[in-house]
Structure 1
């Protein structure tokens, strides 16, 4: 069975489910895996920081609110925060042209904020495939905790 995660969304699943998110450009996918329970989650983050916005916000959209939300949901299912293996994929520089590097580098800002939140929460970031300028698909296998990364251009790797 496969669960699909949209932009600014997350899904939880347990073995033998595979959780997939497509179209990671500047967005970052963050997977969480609890090996004892064979329980996983995949979060598709769009922006780094919710404090730059006002009104009713979707927490899954932002690194600073989405990561804590998913960890809480996993803990409700019996996961131990100290056992979670976290992997990060995406954060590409998808815009080019004058000023794009400094003004529009949402991908790099997403990567930095994810790393900060992961560290602040005391989570273990065990692998990442981030940056560059190509889109990615991310697939979490809840049977093993492996993450398959498919990069545009027929490149496939397992992290």
Structure 2
């Protein structure tokens, strides 16, 4: 049958993509899963992977402090750095990730508004995230923050590979 699709492996039948929306997070130990988040502008994407436990996750946080909207923080804690980061790492530890083995990639924090951004949300998100990571002595492999372009990130849980796509090009990082 010409034109029929071919399947390269049985595992590809069961592979799935989980899209992490703005102000949300996902953690998984399903090696048939790819986690993705799109259009990181001033938002920050924290991508974490534990090569020993073969688990990882993506947090797509939007604002540095939950104090701007305590009610929203109750229903959507991943939206804020100060409530989302602890929740994200607690979820990873629940999948048997060990903080000492975790490898992180941090992306986003851009200033995507034309002209001056008086609120400096991208900068504040970056600072809040990196401060938390440093205080908790977590291992950041690479950061791709600042600038004025949005970024899309994909994490392959079977390999620990991260693919970042932006208008400036593609970047591949291994967290394995």
The answer for the alignment partner of 1:38 in structure 2 is 54
Q: For 2:135 and 2:68, locate their aligned partners in 1 and report how far apart those are by CA, in whole Å.
A: 20
Out of 55, 62, 70, the position equivalent to 1:54 is: 70
Structure label with greater radius of gyration? 2
Q: For 2:171 and 2:86, locate their aligned partners in 1 and report how far apart those are by CA, in whole Å.
A: 27
C-alpha contact 2:103 2:141 (8 A) present in aligned 1: yes
Does 2:176 align with 1:158? no
The answer for the alignment partner of 1:119 in structure 2 is 134
Report how many residues are paired. 155
Moved over 4 A (4+): none
Does 2:108 align with 1:90? yes
C-alpha contact 1:48 1:62 (8 A) present in aligned 2: yes
How many angstroms does 1:83 deviate by? 1.1
How many angstroms does 1:49 deviate by? 1.3
The answer for the alignment partner of 1:65 in structure 2 is 83
TM-score, with structure 2 as normaliser: 0.83
C-alpha contact 1:95 1:104 (8 A) present in aligned 2: no
- Structure 2 gap segments, 5+ residues each: 1-15
C-alpha contact 2:28 2:95 (8 A) present in aligned 1: no
The answer for the alignment partner of 2:145 in structure 1 is 130
> Deviations along 1:71-109, whole A, 9 cap, x unmatched?
111111111111111110111111122xx24x1321111
Worse-matched range after superposition: 44-53 or 83-92: 44-53
